[in-house]
Amino acid sequence: MNRSMENAVEIQNLGKEYRLYGNPYHRLLESLTLGKKKYHRSLWALRDISIDVPKGSTFGLVGENGAGKSTLLKILSGTTFPTVGGFRVQGKVASLLELGAGFHKDFSGRANIFMNAAMMGFSRREMERNFQEILEFSGLQDFIDAPLRTYSSGMVCRLGFSVAISVDPDVLILDEILSVGDMEFQKRCVDKIWSFKKQGKTILFCSHSLYDIRQLCDEAAWLKNGRIREIGNAMMVTNDYATYEKQLIGREMDVLSQLPGRPAEEENRPRIDGIRTVDPATGEPLQEVRPGAAVQVVVDFSNPGPPREVSLGVGFTRTDTTLCFAFSTAWEGLKVEKSAGRIVLDIPRLDLLAGEFVVFAWLVDPEEKIRFDQAVQEKNLVVRNVGKEVGLILQDHQWEVEETA
**HSE on the CB side for 386, CA within 13 Å?**
5
Amino acid (one-letter) located at 155: M
Three-state DSSP class for residue 137: helix
Q: Does the model's pTM come out above 0.75? A: no
| Domains 7-245 and 252-383 alike in fold | no
Strands 171-175 and 93-96: parallel
SS3 49: strand
Is 93 within 8 Å of 201 (Cβ atoms)? no
Residue 150 DSSP label: G
Cα separation, 182 vs 199, in Å, equals 26
Supply the DSSP string of 351-392, one letter for each residue: -B-SEEEEEEEEEE-TTSSEEEEEEE-SSPEEE---SS--SS
Question: Among the residues of 84-182, which ranges form H helices?
Answer: 109-119, 124-138, 153-166
Q: Is 31 exposed, middle or buried (0-12, 13-18, 19+ CB in 10 A)?
A: exposed
Rounded Cα distance between 374 and 368, Å, is 13
Q: Which residues contact 325 (CB under 8 A, 6 or more apart)?
A: 315, 316
Q: What is the CATH number of domain 252-383?
A: 2.70.50.60
Task: Measure the CA–CA gap between 157 and 170, rounded to whole angstroms.
Answer: 22
In tens digits, the chain (405 residues) has pLDDT values of 445 668 999 999 999 988 877 777 777 777 777 767 776 677 899 999 999 999 999 999 999 888 999 899 999 988 889 999 999 999 888 777 766 667 888 999 999 888 877 777 777 888 888 889 889 888 899 999 999 989 887 788 788 888 877 877 889 888 876 655 567 777 787 888 888 888 989 999 898 887 788 888 999 999 999 999 999 988 888 877 865 665 444 455 556 667 887 777 777 889 999 999 999 999 999 999 999 999 999 999 998 877 788 999 999 988 777 889 999 998 988 888 888 889 999 999 999 988 888 899 999 988 888 889 999 998 889 888 766 677 788 888 898 999 887
* Count of CB atoms situated within 10 Å of the CB of 119: 12
Q: Is the dihedral of CA 93, 97, 99, 102 positive or negative?
A: negative
Q: Is 176 left (phi over 0), alpha (psi -120 to 50) or beta?
A: left
Number of residues assigned to the chain:
405
Strands (E), 319-354: 323-328, 340-350
Q: Where are the domains of the chain?
A: 7-245, 252-383
DSSP state of 229: E
Q: Which CATH number fits domain 7-245: 3.30.160.270, 3.40.630.10, 3.40.50.1820, 3.40.50.300?
A: 3.40.50.300
